[in-house]
Amino acid sequence: MSEAPGSAAPPPAESDPPARAASAAAAVALAPIVPLGIWQLAWPAILTNLLTSLVGFVDTKIVGSLGAPAVAAVTTGSRIYFVLQALLIAVTAGTTALVARAWGGGDRAEAERVTKASLGLCTAIALVVSVPAFALPHALAGVFRLEPGTIDLAAEFIRWLAPFQIAFAVHFALGSALRAAGDTRTPLAIGAFTNVLNIGLVYGLVYGRFGLPALGVKGAAIASGIAFTAGALALVLLWWRGLLVLQVGPPDVWERPRVRRILDIGYPAGLEQLVWQVGFLAFLWIVSLYGTAPYAAYGIGVAILAFSFLVGWGFSIAASTLVGQHLGAGDPEGAVRSGWRALRGALAAQAAFGLAIVLAAEPLARFMIDDPEVVRLTVVFIYILGSVQPLMAIEYAMGGALRGAGDTRFPLFAVACGLLGARVTLAALFAWRGLSVEWIFAALIGDYVVKAILLTYRYRTGRWKTVLAARTVQTPS
């Protein structure tokens, strides 16, 4: 997702011929690149996500050598941070819509103002989020009914990652803004640097290689934090020296209407992430009732299948950017076409990746961990989640297109219905009936069916085209 600085004004009125002519000119300028636009934006984002998946895969393999409790601890710690970072998602969702809209309308200065405001908001949020993570790690990890030793490991992971939250915030803010302005290559370069460094540090700090201490699970947290800090510093340096497509820009960024617009568009996305993460916590809590093995299998299965669904996320980024830019240029039909093209790309990519992973499920699971029961359950989980990759592609492409248009409330509704209404409810029902953990894993099928139906319906109605205009108040430049 991306952000754009600028005062994204409402679309020009029908009775304003000069503005209408300018919009038409912008739409014509965009039109020739639309057939390639999805791929031009998606491939760097896909490659970035594949690198991230590779890092998650390698990190899980390294930690997996320490046993199932270590994998469960890292899974728990990561999930806790996803919940705490929901506020960052709220800001960057608003940034993406406004930057893309301003950039498409040719208002670079406003795009830069929104970027700077987003960076300030995200940094402040990161400072607040790091406090409970550092002060109360055992309370956070104790949400799950894991064994005491596993909870201790998870708490250690949470505490050591807390001081690095500002670095994650910088990646969120500047990365989102750049993608919204159409620059997906810079985040790719920074991501490659960060991920390579991450792998080396995780290997060194978990096992005690390269003259580094052997810190186990704690080492995995410290390694990720150092790597992301290095990447964030590189990103800020490029931005500050004017080497990015979005520069530091004008100093007047804190006008109340602008900040209000970022938050007004973004807070449903933040609530969506909060609902999403709370739903995942509830689902994982139910899984944890069955013991450490299924809990670890979930974490390993997600690390393996991330190669598929993070490819789909690349198309979500492309859909958000192009839909927002086309709407900013006064070309709603171009926005519609961009969303459908993103969906076709996501469907093809995720179906292919999902099938390949399902066919290789058992050797991949055995490679990740030497525990027969965890391997068996990981294979079952991969079969189930792999089968719904096309539905996940629909969620990513259609959800990204809606958010790029500023329609952030409907995806919140869809996630609540799918994750809470279907997945968690079915999982709780299956657990209450005493069914095996395989049935708990199967509950996620209902989640993706519901979300795919709702998001496709919303996109087909076309109501999202005017959502941002209806909620926007003109921001002073």
pLDDT of amino acid 433:
93
Structural contact between residues 161 and 225, judged by C-beta atoms closer than 8 angstroms: yes
Which residues, in sequence order, are CB contacts of 399 under 8 Å at separation 6+?
Answer: 316, 411, 414, 451, 455
pTM over 0.85: no
Q: Give the residue among 416, 445, 417 at the shortest CA–CA distance from 430.
A: 445
Q: Each residue of 417-430: b (16+ CB within 10 Å) or e?
A: bbbbbbbbebbbeb
Q: Give the residue among 99, 34, 72, 265 at the shortest CA–CA distance from 154.
A: 72
pLDDT tens-digit series, residues 452-472: 999 999 999 999 988 766 555
Helices (H), 241-371: 256-288, 292-328, 332-359, 361-368
Which residues, in sequence order, are CB contacts of 53 under 8 Å at separation 6+?
Answer: 303, 306, 307, 310
Q: Tally the C-alpha atoms within 13 A of residue 291's C-alpha that lie toward its C-beta.
A: 9
Could you list the mean pLDDT of each consecutive 10-residue stretch along the chain, which spans 477 residues? 29 31 33 48 70 72 79 77 72 82 85 89 88 83 75 86 88 87 84 87 89 87 90 92 85 80 78 79 88 86 83 84 85 90 91 92 88 92 94 93 88 92 95 94 95 96 80 44
pLDDT of amino acid 78:
76
How big is the CA angle at 198 (ends 194 and 201), to the nearest 5 degrees? Answer: 140
Would you state the torsion angle of the CA atoms of residues 157, 53, 395, 245, taken in this order, to the nearest 10 degrees?
A: 100
Q: Give the residue among 400, 339, 465, 308 at the shortest CA–CA distance from 38.
A: 339
Q: Each residue of 97-132: b (16+ CB within 10 Å) or e?
A: bbbbbbbbbbbbbbbbbbbbbbbbbbbebbeebbee
Structural contact between residues 322 and 41, judged by C-beta atoms closer than 8 angstroms: yes
pLDDT of amino acid 35:
36
Question: Residue 250, class by beta-carbon neighbours within 10 Å (0-12 exposed, 13-18 middle, 19+ buried)?
Answer: middle
Identity of residue 103 = W
